[in-house]
Amino acid sequence: MIPTLIGVVLLVFFLFKYFGGDPAAVLAGKQLTADKIAAIRAQLGLDQPVIVQLLIFVKQILTFDFGRSWSTNEVVSNMLVNRGKVSLTVMAQVWFLDAIISVLLAVIAAYLKGSLSERLITGICTAAMSISLLLYVVIGQYFLGFKWALFPVMGWSESFWVNVTRYSPLPVLLMLAVSIAPSLRLYRTFLIEELNQDYVRTARAKGAGDHRVMLVHVLRNAAIPIVTNIAMAIPGLFVGSFVIEQVFSIPGLGREVVLAVDRSDFPVIKAITVSLAMMTMLANLGVDLLYKWLDPRVQLK
Amino acid sequence: MSMNGTNTRSASFWIQAWKRLLADPVARICGCILAIYLVVALLSATGLIAKGWNDEVGVSYANPVFAPNEPNPEGDTSLIREDASVTDDETKAIDPLAPKYEEIAKLERTNADKVTVLQRLLPLGGDKTGRDVLAKTIKAGQISIAIGLAASFIAVFIGVVLGAFSGYFGGKVNDALEWVYNVFTSVPYILLVLAFSAVLGKGVGTVILVLGMTGWTGTYRLIRSEYIKHRDRDYVQAANAIGASHLRMMFLHILPNVSHLILIQLSQEVISFIKAEVVLSFLGFGVPVDLISWGIMISDVRSELVIGKWWQLASCATAMSVFVVAFSFFTDSLRDALDPKSSRR
CA A45/CA A159 separation, integer angstroms: 40
CA A261/CA B199 separation, integer angstroms: 8
What per-residue confidence (pLDDT) applies to B345? 42
What per-residue confidence (pLDDT) applies to B5? 47
Nearest 5°: phi and psi at B181? Answer: -60, -45
Chain B residues with beta carbon closer than 8 angstroms to that of A186: 345
Q: Out of A78-82, B73-77, B89-93, B172-176, give the one with best mean pLDDT.
A: B172-176
CA B228/CA A34 separation, integer angstroms: 56
Nearest 5°: phi and psi at A152? Answer: -65, 145
Contact A135 B199 (CB under 8 A): no
At how many degrees (to 10) do helices A219-232 and A76-111 cross?
Answer: 150
**Is A276 touching B (CB cutoff 8 A)?**
yes
Chain B residues with beta carbon closer than 8 angstroms to that of A70: none
What per-residue confidence (pLDDT) applies to B78? 74
What per-residue confidence (pLDDT) applies to B2? 44
> For chain B, how many residues are written?
345
Q: Which residues of chain A have pLDDT under 50?
A: none
DSSP per-residue letters across B29-77: HHHHHHHHHHHHHHHHHTTSSSTTTTS--EEEEEEETT-TTS--TTSTT
Minimal CA–CA distance to A23: which of A76, A69, A77, A55?
A69
Q: In chain B, which residue's Cα lies nearest the Cα of A241?
A: B190
User: Among partner residues B179, B186, B200, which is closest to A277 by beta-carbon distance?
Assistant: B186
CA B53/CA B291 separation, integer angstroms: 10
**Is B210 touching A (CB cutoff 8 A)?**
no
From chain B residues 282-341, the ones with a CB under 8 A of any chain A CB are 282-285, 294-295, 298, 301-302, 305-306, 313, 317, 320-321, 324-325, 327-329, 332
The whole model's pTM is what? 0.86
What per-residue confidence (pLDDT) applies to B7? 52
The burial class, CB within 10 Å (0-12 / 13-18 / 19+), for B287 is: buried
Contact A273 B327 (CB under 8 A): no
From chain A residues 199-238, the ones with a CB under 8 A of any chain B CB are 235-236
3-state class of B268 per DSSP? Answer: helix
What per-residue confidence (pLDDT) applies to B342? 65
> Which pLDDT tens digit goes with each residue over B179-202?
999 999 888 788 888 888 878 877
3-state class of B15 per DSSP? Answer: helix
Q: In chain A, which residue's Cα lies nearest the Cα of B286?
A: A262
Chain B residues with beta carbon closer than 8 angstroms to that of A127: 325, 328-329
CB pairs under 8 A between A and B: 125
Q: Which helix (H) or strand (E) holds B121?
A: strand B119-122
Q: Nearest CA to CA, how far is A296 from chain B (Å)? A: 26
**Helical H runs in B55-188?**
89-94, 101-110, 133-169, 171-185
From chain A residues 127-146, the ones with a CB under 8 A of any chain B CB are 127, 129-135, 138-139, 142, 146
ipTM of the complex: 0.83
From chain B residues 66-125, the ones with a CB under 8 A of any chain A CB are none
CA distances B191 to A257, A281, B137, B198, Å, are 8, 16, 28, 10
Largest CA-CA distance found in chain B, in angstroms, rounded: 102
What per-residue confidence (pLDDT) applies to B137? 93
**A-interface mutation test, from B175, B194, B303, most A Cβ less than 10 A away:** B194
CA B254/CA B239 separation, integer angstroms: 10
